Amino acid sequence: MAAVLFDFSGTLFRVEPTESWLRAVLDDAGLTLDERELAGKARALEEAGALPGGASPVRLPEELAGLWDVRDRSAEQHRAAYTALSRQVALPDPALHDALYDRHMTPAAWAPYRDAAEVLRALRERGIGVGVVSNIGWDLRPVFRAHGLDPYVDAYVLSYEHGIQKPDPRLFAAACTELGTRPEDVLMVGDDRRADGGAAALGCGVHFVDHLPVTDRPDALLPVLDLVGHRAA
């Protein structure tokens, strides 16, 4: 393998739990809820699928189905989709819905999996190119920089910057082009069988990990190092 492509959410990073997401925004706004009410609101937001990178909606409103399907193709559609889901839950101040969306884009809202740095560093030392291919509606580069992982990434290919989203093979092709590699020499690592599995149509190898809390998945990325070996001189 000459390069490895990684998904972002659920693969290299995990977003914070819904309750801490809501608590942080309430704190910033100087608002408080008693613990029982806060837990209830957080549970309702999670069921609504309002946290990008979190759980999918338990029930997607029919009027949002079309927007949901294309949410990762632009920053505007991404924000519109998730704030619409959030607004299904009554909060103390309507402005909190946009504040919640803004919070999820901050480095503080994300934690890298415990083995992410080790794996990315090892790939760099072996001369293996690294790309991040994500269905997303905002610039995740600051998250990588804040957590010290940006030096190990050679290319970021983000759906909203290209107007296409996984599993469309064109997004993976764009990553291969940026890395200067042939698809058959590339491994795609992700947590979504459908979206990330789209790389197989291009001829890339595919390896899946489970989207679990950081504490429950300490070393799932390590097998990637065995799969790619060392790049030939």
What is the Cα–Cα distance from 212 to 94, expressed in whole angstroms?
Answer: 31
- First-last CA distance in the chain: 12
Q: What is the dihedral of CA 187, 74, 80, 31, to 10 degrees?
A: 70
Mean pLDDT of the chain: 97
What is the Cα–Cα distance from 176 to 157, expressed in whole angstroms?
Answer: 10
> Tokens 């080790």 appear where?
118
pLDDT the model gives residue 202: 97
Q: What are phi and psi of 61, to 5 degrees?
A: -55, 140
For the chain, what is the HEC assignment?
Answer: CCEEEECCECCCEEECCHHHHHHHHHHHHCCCCCHHHHHHHHHHHHHHCCCCCCCCCCCCCHHHHHHHHCHHHCHHHHHHHHHHHHCCCCCCCCCHHHHHHHHHCCHHHEEECCCHHHHHHHHHHCCCEEEEEECCCCCCHHHHHHCCCHHHCCEEEEHHHHCCCCCCHHHHHHHHHHHCCCHHHEEEEECCCCCHHHHHHHCCEEEECCCCCHHHCCCCCCHHHHHHCCCCC
Question: How confident is the model over 37-77, as pLDDT tens digits?
Answer: 999 999 999 999 999 999 999 999 999 999 999 999 999 99
At residue 232 the predicted structure's pLDDT band, cuts being 50, 70 and 90, is very low
Question: How confident is the model over 93-145, as pLDDT tens digits?
Answer: 999 999 999 999 999 999 999 999 999 999 999 999 999 999 999 999 999 99
* CA 86, 90, 91, 94 torsion-angle sign: positive
Instruction: Provide the whole-model pTM.
Output: 0.96
Q: What is the dihedral of CA 193, 199, 202, 203, to 10 degrees?
A: -80
Tokens encoding 228: 């790619």
What is the Cα–Cα distance from 60 to 207, expressed in whole angstroms?
Answer: 29
What structural domains and CATH numbers belong to the chain? 3-14+110-228 (3.40.50.1000), 15-108 (no CATH)
